[in-house]
Each structure stands twice: as C-alpha cells, then as structure tokens.
C-alpha cells in the first residue's frame, strides 16, 4: 500500500514543506530517493514522480527548494531562481537539508540518490559537484551549466543525464561543455539524448504554453526505463528491491 505524507523541515531559518512517499506493506529498510522539483516549485509533477519511485520499492522525498510564500508567486520564483543560480553554494545547502532529513528516516538504509527535473536537474548536478556522498544523481531535462565547475576527483556520485535533442533552453553546446567538465573531473557519467524531445519532456501538462517546452510520451517512458536501470546499477546488493536486481 502506498503511503504519503507531508514533511515539514528546515534549512536554517527557512521553513520547508516536502512530500514523502513509500510502500508501507513491507517494513524493510530501503534506499532513499530525493526528488527535486522544477522551476514552478513543489508541484503535482514532483509528487507524482515521488509516488512512482515509492511504487518501485524506494522511500522518496519530494523536497521543497523555495520555502513558504514562493511557489505560486511568479515574481518571487524568478527572484529566487536568479539568486540561487548566482550562488550555487546556497542551492547545494538547501538540497543538503532535504538529504539529511531523508537519510534520517528509519526506513532508509543509508543509500541515497537524487533525481531532478528541469531546475531540479541543475540542483542535483550541483549536489554531485559538491562531492556529496550519494550513490547517484539523475538530471532530467535540466540545465547543465554551472558557475562552479567540478574539480578533479571531487565527484563521488555516478551521474545520469536525460536530455532532449531539440531542447532550445539547454542547447547541444551546453551538453558538450558539460561532458568536457565531467571528463576533466574524472566523473562516472552518462548522457542519454532523446530524439524529437524538447525541454520538459516528462511534463504531461506541457502542451505548448511555453515555447520550447513540450511533453513527449516516448522520451518520458524511455527516460523512466533508463532511470530504473541506473538504480539497478548503483543499488546492487542486499536490501535492494528484487525488481532492481540483476537477473
């Protein structure tokens, strides 16, 4: 049975409100998945992805990167996005607050990964660049640029990037620059590029309202399969849900 509940936590003086999801039929400890929302804030898309990961046997936390009074307020969202892009350290600390809450949950066995969509993709890559002790991070149609490139031998997490070939917001020049950055850092990374897919290809509600952003069902399904295979790789061993074990 899928269980969900809101989760209040803090980043210093900032109050945050996340969303937990897990399968409560089995009481076994399991890996934890941090889900990081897109630019609109913690929304139905992020909560829906958390539910999907919970159904696969993980404990998922859809975190809150903004805090009270930001989600739903376009002006404040833009101000916040501009601020954190200038200060990746602040963004990394906000994500770390959620990771600490996730890792302390009694059902989490110590193994962690993070998946981010759009803005969230940028977030999880910054967390990886910081040298966080994660098994892996996944960026789905996320920005690949940074003002604080990874240093050699600092990245501990394995990295999966799922990218739309027709994404005008993250052009192929950015993809190439990211690959060069990862090569210099000696990171274990992979980039999967989906033909005919634009930005935001996992958002079912993206039907042309925003230029360059559109749902693409095939790429959504293929990226979901790629993420599951990635989890199978990084979470091998005792306690991994059977559906993620090799063979």
54: burial class by Cβ within 10 Å (0-12, 13-18, 19+)?
buried
Read off the pLDDT of residues 180-194 as tens digits, 9 standing for 90 and up: 999 999 999 999 999
Read off the pLDDT of residues 107-151 as tens digits, 9 standing for 90 and up: 999 999 999 999 999 999 999 999 999 999 999 999 999 999 999
Nearest to 235 by CA among 246, 224, 225: 246
* Long-range interactions of 235-240: CB distance < 8 A, separation 24+: 235/31, 235/111, 235/113, 235/135, 239/28, 239/29, 239/30, 239/31, 239/109, 239/111, 240/31
80 pLDDT exceeds 70?
A: yes
Q: Which token pair is 109?
A: 């066995």
Nearest to 168 by CA among 148, 139, 141: 141
Q: Which residues pair with 161 in a beta bridge?
A: 139, 191
* 8 Å CB contact between 223 and 163: no
């Amino acid at each position: 049975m899928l269980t969900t509940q809101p989760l209040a936590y803090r980043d210093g003086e900032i109050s945050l409100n996340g969303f937990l999801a897990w399968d409560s039929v089995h009481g076994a400890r399991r890996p934890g998945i941090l889900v990081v929302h897109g630019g609109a804030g913690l929304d139905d898309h992020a909560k829906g992805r958390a539910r999907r990961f919970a159904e696969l046997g993980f404990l998922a936390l859809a975190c809150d990167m903004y805090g009270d009074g930001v989600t739903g307020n376009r002006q404040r969202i833009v101000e916040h996005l501009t601020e954190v892009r200038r200060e990746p350290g602040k963004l990394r600390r906000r994500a770390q607050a959620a990771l600490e809450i996730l890792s302390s949950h009694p059902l989490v066995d110590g193994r962690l990964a993070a998946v981010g969509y759009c803005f969230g993709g940028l977030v999880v890559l910054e967390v990886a660049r910081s040298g966080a002790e994660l098994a892996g991070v996944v960026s789905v149609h996320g920005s690949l640029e940074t003002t604080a490139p990874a240093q050699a031998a600092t990245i501990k997490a394995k990295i999966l990037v799922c990218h739309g070939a027709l994404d005008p917001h993250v052009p192929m020049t950015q993809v190439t620059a990211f690959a060069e950055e990862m090569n210099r850092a000696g990171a274990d990374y992979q980039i999967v590029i989906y033909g005919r897919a634009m930005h935001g290809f996992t958002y079912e509600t993206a039907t042309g309202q925003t230029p360059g952003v559109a749902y693409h069902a095939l790429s959504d399904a293929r990226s979901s399969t790629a993420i599951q295979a990635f989890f199978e790789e990084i979470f091998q061993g005792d306690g991994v849900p059977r559906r993620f074990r090799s063979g």
